[in-house]
Each structure stands twice: as structure tokens, then as C-alpha cells.
């Protein structure tokens, strides 16, 4: 049996700081059971659509490279906030970045 658990947290589970705290607790509780957690996070609730609307407001057909950079910034915010929460939970982590999706590998 694998010692790695992948947990995916979408926008509504990252809607506000209380939800981020709940996610950090889920990760901490899972890691207490001797598992290594890979947490994959999306942008906060509503953030991706806000960024899409912003891009289209500036340019009807946005440049693909700049569009990708703008849209992926939502995930980067989620990673940074979750990093802060996991630090408060005294979890050591390593940030891994792959294209648009940002992954956090937590070491316990």
C-alpha cells in the first residue's frame, strides 16, 4: 500500500480563511496517520472567473501566454495562503509547480 495520499481542494473549499484552516487541518490529520500528502489546489471560489473576465475586458481575444499567466495566478494565491496555514499547523512542506496546477508536497 502506498504511503502517499493525493488530496484535491477546489474553489469552494478555499473560499475564505476559515475554509483554508479547515483544509490545513484535513492535511494535518491525514499526515498524522503516517501518510505523505500531495495537496492540489485550485483558485479560491469565483477567482478564476474574475480573472477570465478581467483578461477579456482588456483584450477580446487575450494573448495565450499572458492569459495563462493571469489565470494561473489564482492557483498561486491559493498555494501561498495554504502554505501560511500549514506553517501555522507546524507542517513542513515543499512547493512543487507544474504548468498551471500548483502542488504542495507535505513532508511529515
Residue 108 carries which DSSP code?
A: -
Q: How far is CA 41 from CA 16, 62, 83, 97, 106, in A?
A: 14, 25, 11, 11, 13
pLDDT digits (tens, 9 = 90+) for 23-39: 999 988 888 888 888 88
Q: What is the DSSP string of 26-93?
A: HHHHHHHTT-EEEEEE-PPTTHHHHHHHHHHHH-SS--HHHHHHHHHHHHHHHHHHHHHHHHHTT-EE
Fold annotation for 4-107: Carbamate kinase (3.40.1160)
Residue 102 pLDDT > 70: no
Assess contact for 81 and 16: CB atoms under 8 A: no
Q: What is the pLDDT of residue 104?
A: 41
Q: What is the pLDDT of residue 70?
A: 92
Greater model confidence, 107 or 65 = 65
pLDDT digits (tens, 9 = 90+) for 37-80: 888 899 999 999 999 999 999 999 988 889 988 998 998 899 88
Residue 101 pLDDT > 50: no
Q: What is the pLDDT of residue 31?
A: 86
Domain ranges across the chain: 4-107
Amino acid at each position: 500500500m502506498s504511503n502517499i495520499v493525493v488530496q484535491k481542494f477546489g474553489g469552494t473549499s478555499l473560499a475564505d480563511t476559515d475554509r483554508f484552516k479547515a483544509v490545513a487541518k484535513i492535511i494535518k490529520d491525514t499526515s498524522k496517520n503516517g501518510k505523505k500528502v500531495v495537496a492540489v489546489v485550485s483558485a479560491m471560489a469565483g477567482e478564476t472567473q474574475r480573472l477570465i473576465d478581467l483578461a477579456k475586458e482588456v483584450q477580446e481575444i487575450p494573448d495565450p501566454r499572458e492569459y495563462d499567466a493571469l489565470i494561473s495566478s489564482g492557483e498561486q494565491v491559493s498555494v501561498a495562503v495554504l502554505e501560511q496555514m500549514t506553517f501555522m499547523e507546524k507542517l513542513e512542506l515543499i512547493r512543487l509547480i507544474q504548468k498551471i496546477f500548483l502542488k504542495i508536497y507535505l513532508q511529515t
